[in-house]
Structure formats: structure tokens, C-alpha cells
Amino acid sequence: MYMTELLTLGEPIVTFAATDADQGLVDSINYYKLLGGAELNVMIGATRLGHSTNYVSQVGADPLGEFAIKNIEKFGVGTEYISTDSTNWTAFQLKERVSAGDPKTFNFRKNSAAAHLKKDIIDKIDLSNVAMTHLSGIFPAISETARETFEYFAQKMLANNIPTTFDPNLRPALWESQEKMTTTINELAKYGQIVLPGIDEAEILMGSSEPEEIADFYLNNSEVTKTVIVKLGPAGAYVKNEGEEAGQLVPGFKVEHVVDTVGAGDGFALGVITGLIDGLDMYHAVERGNIVGALQVQTPGDNDGYPTPDELAKFIAMNKGE
């Protein structure tokens, strides 16, 4: 059986990405097909850094579902917990290409196969070698069924003493209302031993853009949460642990040319997670997160910039004089 160090639950998104820069989704006529999904991005990046990963999900019995499984396997991520739904279809999205800023996307994922993933599959997972689990606020946004499965998954991880990270990953278009999104995400964040809010996300979720206030909010949100890492974009990240009077800034790395910001937050998460699995202290794990995020924004795909161990070492040597 496949040995799993890192595990997640999510929905793979087949993305049709425009090749015509700054034309928008309506006027672009040339697209190429690739595979994305925030939670999957984390698994792909962790696999590239040499860790064994597994992905819990469901796809449709259709060409896009076959494409998803084929490419997940190609990336080296475990697929034994991906089921196939003969009734519902695989989610996909359109993504524009921009020369600056965040590209717009349009999702086709309502009533998707993953939205019908039931919690029964969770009991089939072998947890014996799992070192960490990554949780994201996207999967529970796609349906009530997905939300129930997510909570069952998170509860089982905690019951088995498996450390959990939680990234809010706000996707307002997937929620019934901003109020529902805010309330639900803050409840689900209680399952994260390490919570990873972005500074802009936190302003929506708890009304502040002050890193220390954000950290204190999530540390007080749950007895489970021990560390909060506030993502500050190019400035880096602010880290605060339970019981500390003040947190610490971990500076980011200068990027000369940003191509596409998609996947940077997932890159940050995988950097932190793999750093911790590899035995780094929290500061240096967060520093690795900043490195992977900086590499990712220099590429056009969702996960193209995630480094191999050699590429990571090269970046550190060039940017830290080591």
C-alpha cells in the first residue's frame, strides 16, 4: 500500500487557461488545459520536494475526470482515495491571462462529483504513516455534503493526533453569502493546529489587517490552534505561537517580475508543511514558505514554480549567501 506522509481533502479543477494576455474570458479564444485545485497544488509541491502525498477526492466518469486522475498520478500524488462518480461531472474553470495582478476565473463546479463526496471514504484511509494533514476552506464551500465530509475528516485527523494546517482560501463565489462564508470559515479554522490566513482574508473574516490582532483572534478561536501564520504578501509572514506576548516577522524575498499570483498561497503552505516535516523550526519553515511563494509568482501556471530540492537549495544559496 502507498505510504502517506501528507494528506489532504479537496477538489481537482481542470483549468482552461487563456493564452491571450489581457483579453478577458469573453474575448480570449485560445486556451490550454491544465490541472489545478488549491489543496492539490500543496500535494504536488510537497511531492516535488520528495514527500509522499495522498489526495482524497471524487471526479466524474468523464474525460476531464480521467485527465485529472492521469495527471495527479503523473505528479506522483497518491490516487487510491479518489473515487469516480458516474452521475455527476468533474469540475472545471476558465482562467484569463493578465500581464499584471490577479487573473479572473469562472468556475463550473456546482453539483460536481466532488460536491457529492460522502464521508464513508474517510474510514477507508490508512493513517498509520501520516505526518501532517492540510485543510482548506475551499472544499467545504462547494456543498453541504462536502462540508460534512470535511468536518468528519478533520475530526478524525485530530482524534488520531495528526497535526493539521488550515488555510482559509476564501472563494466568495462559492458561498451563498459573505456572512455564511465568514461564519463557516471561522468555525472550520478551529480544526487547524496551524492557521494560515492572508492579511486581506483576515480583514474580511475578523475585521482587522493588523497581524498581531489577526493572530490573537485565531489563537483564541480554538484550543486546538497553537500557531497562526499571517501571510503578508511580498513583505513575508507574521508568526505567533500560543502563549507568546508578541509574534515575529519572517521577511519575504524580492521578486523582480510577478507573472501570476495564483498558487503562491498554496506554495507558501507547502513550504511551511514540508519544512516542519523535515524538522525545521517554525521560523525557518515559514521562511521556506516565503521562498516557494516567491518562486511560484514568477510562473504562469498554478504550480509550475514549485521547486525540487536542488532548486530550493539553489535559491537559498543565491538569496541568503549560503
- Could you give the residue numbers annotated as active site? 266
Alpha helix segments (H runs only) across the chain: 24-27, 38-48, 63-74, 144-159, 178-188, 199-206, 211-219, 264-277, 282-296, 309-320
| CB < 8 Å & 24+ apart, contacts of 308-314 | 308/48, 308/49, 309/49, 309/50, 312/49, 312/288
- CB of 37 within 8 A of CB of 295? no
Q: CA-to-CA distance for 85 and 124, rounded, in angstroms?
A: 17
Half-sphere exposure (Cβ direction) of 92: Cα atoms closer than 13 Å: 20
Q: CA-to-CA distance for 79 and 44, rounded, in angstroms?
A: 12
